[in-house]
Amino acid sequence: MAKTPPHIEGEVLAMIAAGYSLAAVSSQFGLSYHTVRGIQKRAGIKSGEIKKQVILKYQNALKDSLASDFIRDKASALLMDDLALSSKLRSKLHVLLDELPDSPRDTKEAVLIARSLSAIATSLKLSNDTLRASFKLGEEPEVNEDLPELIVREMLEVEILDVKGKFTTVEAS
């Protein structure tokens, strides 16, 4: 049985330490699984060891950089900007909302009003999220992945007649 050359053993160990499986390493170098496992055991290298060390190193570096005064100043400036934009957005939303008619003249205008209200509601939600996030500094943001899907389509003639029928029934009552 031939001894594996030292430079190949070094590459095998590097791949194992980087997180490659023993099967993948053996395939890459044309070595048996048992040979690769033997190289690993002799060297005492654990699978993925380097990857974990590198990740930990960069996580610590990121934590250290976030503690700097520069980052805090930037975050504070961004927060102030977000709050100012949120306030301006809310003012504009109030103006737009006041401009919408209370009762539409026809179905097309009703659809346009519905779309406008939907856009205003979305903008208001984003504004509220910004405000909530601003006052929860350091906390994990809430993630709501169950948002409803808004589907906008043109109504069929049958649906329009049905809606008109319901309005005339309500007005007659």
Using one digit for the tens of pLDDT, what is the confidence trace for 143-168?
666 767 777 788 788 888 888 887 66
* Global pTM value: 0.34
Angle, alpha carbons 33-38-44 (nearest 5°): 125
Q: How far lies 115's CA from each of 24, 36, 74, 97, 168, in Å?
A: 55, 64, 37, 12, 23
pLDDT at 143: 62
Same domain, 93 and 165: yes
For residue 97, the enclosing domain spans: 85-137+150-172
User: Residue 48 belongs to what H/E stretch?
Assistant: none
Nearest-angstrom CA–CA distance, 24 and 27: 5
* 160 within domain boundaries: yes
pLDDT at 31: 93
Higher model confidence: residue 169 or residue 115? 115
Q: Hey, what are 67's tokens?
A: 């503690």
* 117 within domain boundaries: yes
Same domain, 58 and 95: no
Long-range contacts of 28-34 (CB under 8 A, 24+ apart): 31/4
pLDDT at 38: 92
Question: pLDDT digits over 31-90, tens only?
Answer: 999 999 999 888 888 777 776 776 677 677 767 766 667 767 777 777 777 778 777 877
Same domain, 168 and 91: yes
Same domain, 90 and 167: yes
User: Residue 45 belongs to what H/E stretch?
Assistant: none
Q: Specify whether the CB–CB gap between 91 and 124 falls below 8 A.
A: no
- List the single range of 20-29, 69-78, 119-128 with lowest mean pLDDT: 69-78
| Cβ within 8 Å of residue 133, ≥6 positions away | 141
* 155 within domain boundaries: yes
Q: Using 50, 70 and 90 to split pLDDT, how confident is the model at 110? A: confident
Angle, alpha carbons 162-168-170 (nearest 5°): 105
User: Residue 24 belongs to what H/E stretch?
Assistant: helix 22-29
* 13 within domain boundaries: yes
Same domain, 18 and 58: yes
* 42 within domain boundaries: yes
Task: Tell me how many domains the chain contains.
Answer: 2
* Mean per-residue pLDDT, 94-115: 83
**pLDDT above 70: residue 136:** no
Same domain, 21 and 56: yes
Tokens 């430079």 locate to 7
Q: Is 138 left (phi over 0), alpha (psi -120 to 50) or beta?
A: left
Give the chain's mean pLDDT: 78
